Structures are given as C-alpha cells and as structure tokens.
Structure 1
Amino acid sequence: MKHTYTIGMAGHIDHGKTTLTKALTDIDTDRLQEEKERNISIEPGFAPLSIHEEMDISIIDVPGHERFIRQMIAGVAGIDGVILVVAADEGVMPQTREHLEILSFLGITHSLIAVTKVDRVEEELLELVEEDIREEVQGTPFEHADLVFVDSLSGKGLDHLKSSIQEMMKGVPGRDPKGAFRLPIDQVFTVHGQGTVVRGTVYEGRIAEGETVKLLPAQKTVRARQLQVHKQPVREGIAGQRLAINLGGIDKEEVERGDVLVSADHYVSADTIDVELTTVDGIKFPLKQRGYIKLHLGTAEVYGKIVFFDRNVLEAGKKRVLCQVRLDEPVVTKRGDRFILRRPTPVETIGGGMVINTDTQKYKFGQETIDKLEKDLEGTPEDRIKDVLLEYKWLRKDEIVKHSGLTADEAEETLSLMLGGGTVIEVKDQMFTLPDLFDNFINRLRESLETFHASYPLRAGKNKSEILQENKGTYPKGLLEHFLDSGIQKELIKRNNQYISLQNFTPHFPKGWESRMENVVTALQREGLLVSPFEETAREQSLPDDLMKELRQYLLENGKAVPMDDKHIWDQEAVSEAKRKLRDGTNEVFTLQEAKEVLGVTRKYLVPFLEWLDNEKWTARKDKERTWLK
C-alpha cells in the first residue's frame, strides 16, 4: 500500500534549504519574481520527492527569514516530518533556534538534520559543527535525529540523505484516510478559464473529484471541480498529500489563507478556545493578563487576547500554563490541534501547545477553573470515544480501541455505559456511532428536502442515490443507509420506491399553476387515445418548458398517464377503458385489423397502444396475431 507524506525543509535564511530541495527534486521552489531577485524564500515552496515506490512524498521549503516566520508556520503546519537545515559555514543561528522551538511546539517528532555547504569548510571543522548542533538540539524532539553532511552543488551526501529520509518516513504511521476530510488553505489564486483554485496539505480524510465540501469559517458550500497533486490531475486526494483544488461556486475574493475545507459538521469555527500552553525558555518581555497575542493554528493567523486563571503575568522561563485565548476572528479547530502563540509587538514567539476545548465559555479566575481544564485535558474515556466517533462516524470496537488510546477493557466498559445511557448506538455488524450524528444528518436532510419540495413540488421526492452522493464525503455509505432506514422507521422521512421525502409531503401542482395544469389533464382525458403532442397541449396553457417537463414526469411516475412515444402520453383511465373495450370486443386471439375495427383509431395510435399491451404482458404477439394473457 502506498503512503503519502509531507516533509518540511526548515532552518535559518541562506542555509541552503531551497538549493537542497532542488538538488533532491530538480525543482526550484522559489517561484515568485521577488524571491528570485532577492535570493530569499518569501512563501513556502513545494516539490514532489521520489525515493521509494511505496512513498509519495511532498517537500515544503519554508522561508528562513525572521520577517516571514508566519509563512514558515503556515508551511510546516500538518507536516509528517522535517529536515532541519544548518549551514556548515555558519552553524546554528537565531532562526534555527526559533524553527526548532516552533517545530517542537507543533509536535513534529520525526526529524533529520542536514548540514549543508560542507564543501565550503575544512573537514576537521565538521566535527565542531556537529558538536554545536547536538548541543543545541539536546532536550528537543531532534535530540536523536540522524545528522547527514551534504553539499547540494557537488551532490555530496545526497544519496545518504535520501536513504535517511526513507528510513525516517518508515517510522511515520501512514495517515488514515477514513477520517473526515480537512484541508487548511495556504494558497489562493485564479487560473484563467478555471476560476478559483486553492492549495493546502490534506490533514485528514479524502476527497473525490466532484464532491461538495464546506468552506469554514464562511460556512459556504463549494464543489471540488478538479484536483491536482503537484500539477498532475487526480480523481481523489487523500491525507498527507499536497493538493490543489479547483473550487466551483465561489470567487477568489471570498477565500483566504487560513480558511479550511471540511466534509463534516464536527469542525467548528471558534473565537474562544481553551489551551495547554508551553512557553519558550526566554521570553524577553513578560506577558500580562489579557495581553495581545497572535495565534497561528493550521494555516490561520489570528489576533486575540490571552486570559490566565492562575496568574496575572507570564514571566520568562519554560513553563506549562492552562489558559484561554479569545480571538478577534474565529478559527477552525478541534480538540488536539497544535498551535503557536506569538507576540505581535515586540515580535517574539511565546510558546505553543494543544487545543483542549473549542467554542468554549468564559470562566472565573481561580483553582476551580484550572482543575476543570486539567480534567478536560486528560479527557474521560467517554470523551475519547465521542471524539473518535465524531471523526470517523462509525467504528468497530477494535477500531475504537485503536483510535482512542483506551485499553480493550476500558473501551468495553465505557461503551456498555454509553449504550445504556443512549450516548452511543450500535448499528449493524457491531458498528458503533453517535445519536447526535444521526440527529444532525436527519435535521440537515429534512432541511434539504423542504427546499427540494418547494422547488419541485411535482416530484415524489429526492432520489436516494442523489442523497447518498451528496453525503458520501461526510458519512460512510453503510452508515448513510442505516440513517435513512432509521429515519423511515421513526417516520421522520418516508420512502416511495427510490425517492425520499418528508413524511407529510404529497406531490402537488405548484402554487399559481394549479388551474392550467388541471386543464392539461382534462385535455388528455377528453382526447382519449387520439392525443395531441403533450408539448402542444401544455403550450396552449402557457406552461414554461421546465414546468411542462415536470408535469409530464409527474403524470407518468404517479400512474396518471402512460407514455405513447417521446411526444405523446395517454391518460391512464383512457388506456384502461380502451383495454377493457378491446378485451370485450375480441377473441382470445386477434389481429391488428380486428383491433382497429373495435377501437376505431388509425395505425398511428393503434400500433403504440398494442405494443404497450405487449410490454405490460396483457398480450403476446406472434407474427400478425396477438393472444390475451390475462
């Protein structure tokens, strides 16, 4: 099975990140004119790396200049591993340290250290460079990272680096594409003739070409018209990939970096979040209660205030703090997401950590709130099960154990309690889901059906296959089938053949057109078998084309009419009367001429009528004769 990964290329400015990326991939990731003129990276660059047939790897080359740290954070958000680049002729520099801190706070644990430009220094100095780097990374996730000496221009060490990357990625668990789709957007642009295109790294789940997803926090529904991975068209994008999506239904001006595409309801847009914050060792300036901060979460960058519950000032020194961030604008997040906090002015990194609660409330200052946040951080077994079911929608017991981190006994006991309390439900094949998911699905479906009925009152309902298609990016098909069956059983919706409708809905003529449509039906009844073209009859009543088609379909699907050919339909009662008359007026075996004498119609109408009798198994034709079957 092929796995997809994204690797960050981080480090101080001018330490050779872009050159190393090009040496590995043969792609220059500095695409902006300003980047080429100034010889520095301003925006993250992206390139595919081919090192193993079972690995699809994207490299993100992030800016190293301190002025572009926000672009660096947006670039490394969501990566699976990182290569920390340190130039042999300069060693560890300020941005090396800051990138180290940021990567540590974001929970990036799979790492390599690439010492570049080794041809510029004497061989004996490389030992001192390595010693300097090892001392700097002590106590960080990079402490035991492999260190590789390379020179991007001569190619020295590149093969060793590639094999080290391959070894590093073997230790990274492949992302599970079964979760709900989420893609934080880091680039937005337009392509002539195509419209709005966004790029980002797929954090979770998968998306297929043609699927509809939601853009948050704007709450806009958009369609993924086309997908590309490194400029190559694909039918599907999955977790870990660097993906470009051509969006339908939205203009470029309505999308910005930091927005998120999702396929599920459990992602929320929140302007108040509870967090666990770990600070850097040396904050230069104390951070006061309600001090102004900048939150970096995913690809979003939002200003806000920090609220402490056990102190009024955050002093220098590495420490863990449970606190709250109140933002000027909402961000899209969920429990467990990693973030970075920075001070807007004077600019510095304060720390980073993990989101505990989203869309939360204001609390009182004091130990009681700290105790609550400690408990929320740990999470009860029930909370963990709810979290994984919100993400994956339905799971077997062994899958719940795998994703929740609970033991089998803990999961068994908690599921039993949750089943008894009605906070989880068991569906077919011992799969578990949440009643809230069912309620959300049914409520959204009923809203959708209400809109559908208002637009198409003549239709029996929405086609089941259309409902399944619309929701396949949010719910597994088997769960959708179960939800529909449960909704029908509970009489929240009803089914008529392949159509799903509201329980109390009956197809009817649209308001304002009742009398004209009744006139069309009356004309069909009056004409019997000798009908005029349906379009002609409808136009006599000034019916527009769309309502003409809707009325024709309504009459046929509800058994009020029978199709004669593409242009004509018969009234059902007229057909039944003609059938009765022909049955009474002929023997068990009859000819076309005999039928003509009984019914008194021309071949134009008689032949289609007799063929209809054959198709409906009332008669069977053999040569020039027909036999009544019933």
Structure 2
Amino acid sequence: MKKHFTIGMAGHIDHGKTSLTKALTNVDTDRLKEEKERQISIEPGFAPLYENEEMQVSVIDVPGHERFIRQMIAGVAGIDLVVLVVAADEGVMPQTKEHLQILDFLGIKKGIVAISKIDKVEADFLALVKEEIMLELEDSIFKMAPVVMVDSLSQKGIDEVRELILSELAGLESRDTKGPFRLPIDQVFTVKGQGTVVRGTVYEGSVEEGKSLLILPHHIETKARQLQVHHKPAKQAFAGQRAALNLSSVAKEEIQRGDVLVSSEHFNVTKCLDVSLRITGDLEHMVKQRMPIKCHIGTSEVMGRIVFFDRNEISSVTGEILCQLRLEEEIVTKRGDRFILRRPSPPETIGGGWVIDPQGDKYRFGMKTIEELARKKEGKPEERIISAMVESKGLSITELMTRTSLDEAEIIQVLDQPEFVSYARDQYTTGREIESLTEGMYDRLSEYQLANPMRKGINKAEIIQGLHAVFPKALLEFVLRLGEEKGTWKRNGQFFATADFTPSVPKNWSKRVEGMLQAIKQDRLQVRYLENYLHDAGIPETIRPELTYFLVEQKLLMPLDDRFYLSADMFSEAVDNLKEHTEGSFEVSDAKAVLGLSRKYMIPFLERLDMEKVTRREGNKRIWL
C-alpha cells in the first residue's frame, strides 16, 4: 500500500523554517494577514512536498515564537520526521532548545538538521558553525541525525534536503490505516456554499466520502460530505495524511481545535489519566503536588493538576515518574498517546510522557499505588491484546502485532487461551466481547419488539447497519448465528426476534381489533371498505397500516384489493363452496351463481384466487390448481 507521511519544520523564530518550506514546496505557508504583516508564523502552515506511486509526503511549518508554543505542539503532534532548522549566523537559541525538548517528549525519533542562512556566514567558518551546533545537540534525538547546509534564497542544498527527507522516510513504516479513524482537529473554518470544514493530520485509520463520524468529546454526529488532501478533492484519506473534511449537520461554532473526529464511539473520552512522566533537565521552578498545569495532547490544550503518589514536589529528577493528570475538561486519548506538560505561569515546559491508562481511578498516596501503576505500564501480553480488542472489538494477528508491539509467536500463544474466540478467518475477539455483544443484541431485539409488537422482528440488515460503526461485520454475523444456534433468538427469513416473542396486537387495542374482526366476519362476503371498520373500531390512523399488514400476515384477513378485506375464514369458506359446485374449471357467471356476489366483489375475489395460485386464468375460464 502507498505510504503517507507528514514531516515537521521546527526551530527558533526567524531561523528560516517558512523560507525552507517554500523553497521545497513552492508554497508560502504564512497565509494569514497578520503573519504577512509581522513576518512571523502564528499558526501551523501546511504544504505538499512529494508524491509518487509509493509515497506521499506533507510538510508542517510550526511557529517558532515562544508565544505560539501551543500551536507548535499541535502542529508537530502528528509528524513522522522533523527537520530542525538552525540559522548559521545565530546557532542554537532558547526556542530551539524548547522545541528539542518537546520533540523528545513526543517520542519523535527521526530527524534531520538543516543549518540555514549559510550565505550569511563566511564559508571558512561553516565547519566551525556546524561543530558548535552539533555540540549543542549532543544530548538530543539529533545526535546522530544527518546534517545539511542550506540557503533558501540561493537554493543551495535544497535538493539535498529533499533527497534526505525521502531517504529517511523510505525506511519508516506507515501508520495504521486498518483501525478506527482518528483525526485531532487543528483548524476549523467555513467555506462559502460548503459549510463547516475541519483540518488535521489523520492519526490512524482511514475515512471516505459519505462516512458517518463523531466529533468527540461532545458526541456530535456528522458525515464527511467531501474530502480534500493537499487541496485536491479525494475519495479517501489515510493515516499520515493531512486532510480537510467538509462536515454536514454541524456549525463552525460547535467545533474547536482539540476536538477529535472519529469513526467509533470506543475512543476514550476522559478527564483522568495515569501517565509515565519525564521532567525536563533544566527546570527553572519547582513542580509541586496538585500544581496547575497545561496539558497538550494531540491538538488539545486543557488545564488540570498533576497528582503524585510517591512525592510532594520535584526540583530535579531523572528517569520516569508514575503519576496522574486530572484535567478540567474532557479530552480524547488512548494508551500510548504522547503529551506535553507546561506551567501556565510563569510559562515553562515542565516535561512530557505517555498515557498508561486513559481511564485513571482515584488512588491512595503510597508505594502500593506506584507498584500498581508500574504493572499497568508494563502490561502483560494478554492485557495488551485484550486492551486492543476492547477498543477495536475484533482484530487479525497482523493488526494485533501493530497495536501491541508483540511478535507473532507471543500473540498466537495468548490467542490459544479459551477466553479468546476466532469468529472468522484470522479474526479474533474475546469471549467477554461476544457476551457483551450478545446481551446488546438481545436488548436491541427486546426494545424493538416492545416498540413494534406486531412485526415479525427486526431486519438483519438493520441490526448490522446499526452496530457496524462499532463492531466488524463478520463479528456481527458470527454472533447472530451463535445466538440462533443457542436459542437466544430465532430467525424468520431476514427477521430476528427473541426466542419467546410472538407478534401480537398491543393490549390497549386488542379488544377493539377483536370486535372489528368479528364485524368483518359477520358481513361475510359483502364487506365495506376496511377503513370504515378501522374507523368504527376507534383504531388510530397512525397504527392502521401496520395493523392491517399484521392481520394479513397472521392470516386473519384476506385482501381482495387495497380497499376490501374479507375475514380469512370467510374467504376459505367461499373457495370451498365454489370448488364444490364447479368442476375443474369455471367462468365468472358460474362463480356469481354460486356465491351471489356483485361485480364490485366478484372481480377482486377472482383476481385474488389467481394471485394466491388457487386458480389460473385461461381466456374467460379459470382452472383450479
């Protein structure tokens, strides 16, 4: 499959990130009026860099000014490789260092160092400049990174940067496109005549035009009306791509940066996270128990407090700290997601880490809690597989390898345990999920029957359509078969109902319906319009069509046409009477002589005999079958 990647440009303000992006892509990513006037980047800018049959690459140019650190974090949160831009005439600056910390905490491993503005430095000094810059980067992810000298105005080194980017990306695995779709939103705007549009980097999964989606954490239902990738219309967008989605049935004011567009309700919406935290090495101010913090995760920024279980303050520490973040607003996250913590005032990056459990609980202070969090952090193979299945409901071995970082042999060994179920070729889930889905289907059938007591049951297609957004179709088919085999529910053609269900008239109308049927029976073959009987019995218009269908299905009424309905008993009696007084065939006059019906009733009656395959018409005669 084609690989999709997004790379980021990071570094100190005015070190040439936007100029380098423009030199590589021919796109000026400073599109806002204020950005043009102040000649600084305020919002992340995006541009297509490269595309062939095997790979598509986008560029994010993030702001370098310290006032726009939130926008910087939101921009780099979804990247696969970063180009650190350092100006040759200034070297490593304060924001360069802060960007380095953020990139490290976000777990970005691949990087390229682009030493920019080389024409501003004497050629003889470039080797010394490079040595000084790399010395500053000694303890960062860029220690062994390739270095390239560039000047965006003269185009020196631009081709080399492009080749290095593509070379570094060629060895990377693309993101998971098979799981549920997730796109943290970083831009919201409206387009005249189109409505609300959101942009972001697709973290995982894929999305296609017409797909039903949810905006979390607000649980707003919407649809992807149109898609764009690199400002071009697209039918589908994949993990790793920058995408714009035109959404239906939602106003711009209902969405904000930090919201997440998903295809499944089973992403965690939470305010309490168990986390593994690392503190920055040059912390200026002490971090105290329950201190206010800003948490940056995905594209969201929310206030909260940090809760320690083995200390009350930190001034300097190496290694990880197992702790908890209690946030003031709900966010969308999952195990393994990276985050950054910053002090609100005075502004400072405190540290960062990853989410151990997105649904943290309240714990006691002490080492017992730390030991429990450590066990959670390690996550036994079985626990990691169950966690992945709880989220996706059903996965193949290949998908489990991607999601759990376990090798195939470990996964197969775990899946041999009785609590795991193979429901289709190379597709597995847990027995608990099967039980949960069975209970959910049973409840769905029961609710439907309560609301529609006269129907046979719920259509199979309707069951699957209602649950397919959450559960794989093959799993739904498996559970439907399993429930039928065990007698949990029964099947009538394409309709499913609980095993003990029998269609019936609602109790509050049953006496009126009985009276109506008796009146129709008493009128024998000379019935009035069915609407007259329904009206006289006081049957509400809202249930008349369904009641009529039910009475015909239950063989209590026999329609002659769409107006006249006979009692099914009277119809059978009339057929028997006609058979008894005619031989193998008869004409209309023969039937009139036997039944004494006027043309108003006779023609519909005979046509019904043909439709029911009791007779076959040949010219003016009808042949008994």
TM above 0.5, one fold?
yes
8 Å CA contact 1:211–1:473 kept in 2: the answer is no
8 Å CA contact 1:282–1:317 kept in 2: the answer is no
Shift of the 410–534 alpha-carbon distance from structure 1 to 2, 3 Å rule, reads same
Which residue number in structure 1 is paired with residue 472 of structure 2?
Answer: 476
Deviations 1:539-581 (A, max 9, x none): 7778777544444544455555566667776665555445444
Give the 5 Å matches for 1:426-445.
426-429=422-425, 431-445=427-441
Residue 389 of structure 1: CA displacement?
2.0
Which residue number in structure 2 is paired with residue 148 of structure 1?
Answer: 148
Residue 475 of structure 1: CA displacement?
1.9
8 Å CA contact 1:284–1:316 kept in 2: the answer is no
Shift of the 605–145 alpha-carbon distance from structure 1 to 2, 3 Å rule, reads farther
Note if 1:207 corresponds to 2:207. Answer: yes
Deviations 1:135-171 (A, max 9, x none): 3333333333333344444544443333333222222
Which residue number in structure 2 is paired with residue 464 of structure 1?
Answer: 460
Higher alpha-carbon deviation: 351-360 or 542-551: 542-551
Q: Highest Rg: 1 or 2?
A: 2
Deviations 1:485-544 (A, max 9, x none): 334445554443223345555545568666776677667667777777767876777877
Give the 5 Å matches for 1:110-509.
110-191=110-191, 195-248=195-248, 250-264=250-264, 266-316=266-316, 318-397=318-397, 400-401=400-401, 403-416=403-416, 418-419=417-418, 422=419, 424-429=420-425, 431-446=427-442, 448-449=444-445, 452-453=448-449, 455-502=451-498, 505-509=501-505
Higher alpha-carbon deviation: 80-89 or 485-494: 485-494
Shift of the 449–49 alpha-carbon distance from structure 1 to 2, 3 Å rule, reads farther
Residue 65 of structure 1: CA displacement?
1.5
The SS at the match of 1:50 is: strand
User: What letter is aligned with 2:466?
Assistant: E
User: What letter is aligned with 1:463?
Assistant: N
Deviations 1:177-204 (A, max 9, x none): 2212322222334455655443332222
Question: Distance in 2 between the 1:448 and 1:170 partners?
Answer: 48
8 Å CA contact 2:48–2:230 kept in 1: the answer is yes
Which residue number in structure 2 is paired with residue 39 of structure 1?
Answer: 39
Question: Distance in 2 between the 1:248 and 1:429 partners?
Answer: 37
Question: Distance in 2 between the 1:195 and 1:47 partners?
Answer: 23
Residue 70 of structure 1: CA displacement?
1.0
The SS at the match of 1:49 is: strand
Note if 1:627 corresponds to 2:611. Answer: no
Query: Normalising by the residue count of structure 2, what TM-score does the alignment of the two structures yield?
Result: 0.87
8 Å CA contact 1:217–1:260 kept in 2: the answer is yes
8 Å CA contact 2:214–2:265 kept in 1: the answer is no
Residue 288 of structure 1: CA displacement?
1.5
Higher alpha-carbon deviation: 98-107 or 482-491: 482-491
Question: Distance in 2 between the 1:121 and 1:278 partners?
Answer: 37
The SS at the match of 2:370 is: helix
Question: Distance in 2 between the 1:200 and 1:523 partners?
Answer: 67
Question: Distance in 2 between the 1:415 and 1:607 partners?
Answer: 67
Higher alpha-carbon deviation: 248-257 or 266-275: 248-257
Question: Distance in 2 between the 1:41 and 1:65 partners?
Answer: 8
Note if 1:108 corresponds to 2:99. Answer: no
Higher alpha-carbon deviation: 390-399 or 337-346: 390-399
Residue 53 of structure 1: CA displacement?
2.3
Question: Distance in 2 between the 1:363 and 1:83 partners?
Answer: 41
CA RMSD of aligned residues (A): 3.6
The SS at the match of 1:376 is: helix
User: What letter is aligned with 1:360?
Assistant: G
Question: Distance in 1 between the 2:559 and 2:31 partners?
Answer: 61
Higher alpha-carbon deviation: 431-440 or 506-515: 506-515
- Where does structure 1 lack aligned partners over 5 or more consecutive residues? none
Question: Distance in 2 between the 1:129 and 1:571 partners?
Answer: 100
Shift of the 516–467 alpha-carbon distance from structure 1 to 2, 3 Å rule, reads same
Give the 5 Å matches for 1:542-561.
547-555=543-551, 560=556
Which residue number in structure 1 is paired with residue 70 of structure 2?
Answer: 70
Question: Distance in 1 between the 2:147 and 2:525 partners?
Answer: 88
Shift of the 294–197 alpha-carbon distance from structure 1 to 2, 3 Å rule, reads same
The SS at the match of 1:478 is: helix
Question: Distance in 1 between the 2:322 and 2:56 partners?
Answer: 38
Deviations 1:108-144 (A, max 9, x none): 1233333444444444444344334433333333333
Query: Normalising by the residue count of structure 1, what TM-score does the alignment of the two structures yield?
Result: 0.86
Higher alpha-carbon deviation: 79-88 or 244-253: 244-253
8 Å CA contact 2:324–2:360 kept in 1: the answer is no
Question: Distance in 1 between the 2:170 and 2:111 partners?
Answer: 12
Higher alpha-carbon deviation: 614-623 or 434-443: 614-623
Shift of the 68–452 alpha-carbon distance from structure 1 to 2, 3 Å rule, reads farther
User: What letter is aligned with 2:144?
Assistant: H
Residue 231 of structure 1: CA displacement?
4.6
Deviations 1:428-481 (A, max 9, x none): 446321233234434444555555455544443332212222332322211111
Question: Distance in 2 between the 1:46 and 1:615 partners?
Answer: 66
The SS at the match of 2:51 is: coil
The SS at the match of 1:29 is: coil
Which residue number in structure 2 is paired with residue 21 of structure 1?
Answer: 21
Question: Distance in 2 between the 1:46 and 1:532 partners?
Answer: 73
Question: Distance in 1 between the 2:622 and 2:136 partners?
Answer: 96
8 Å CA contact 1:207–1:473 kept in 2: the answer is no
Deviations 1:570-618 (A, max 9, x none): 6655554454444444433445565565555567765665555445444
User: What letter is aligned with 1:464?
Assistant: K
Question: Distance in 1 between the 2:223 and 2:309 partners?
Answer: 43
Higher alpha-carbon deviation: 132-141 or 614-623: 614-623
Note if 1:59 corresponds to 2:55. Answer: no
Shift of the 208–114 alpha-carbon distance from structure 1 to 2, 3 Å rule, reads same
Residue 67 of structure 1: CA displacement?
0.9
Question: Distance in 2 between the 1:567 and 1:68 partners?
Answer: 73
Deviations 1:295-351 (A, max 9, x none): 111122122221223332212354322222222223222221111111111111111
Higher alpha-carbon deviation: 520-529 or 371-380: 520-529
Shift of the 405–624 alpha-carbon distance from structure 1 to 2, 3 Å rule, reads same
Higher alpha-carbon deviation: 192-201 or 269-278: 192-201
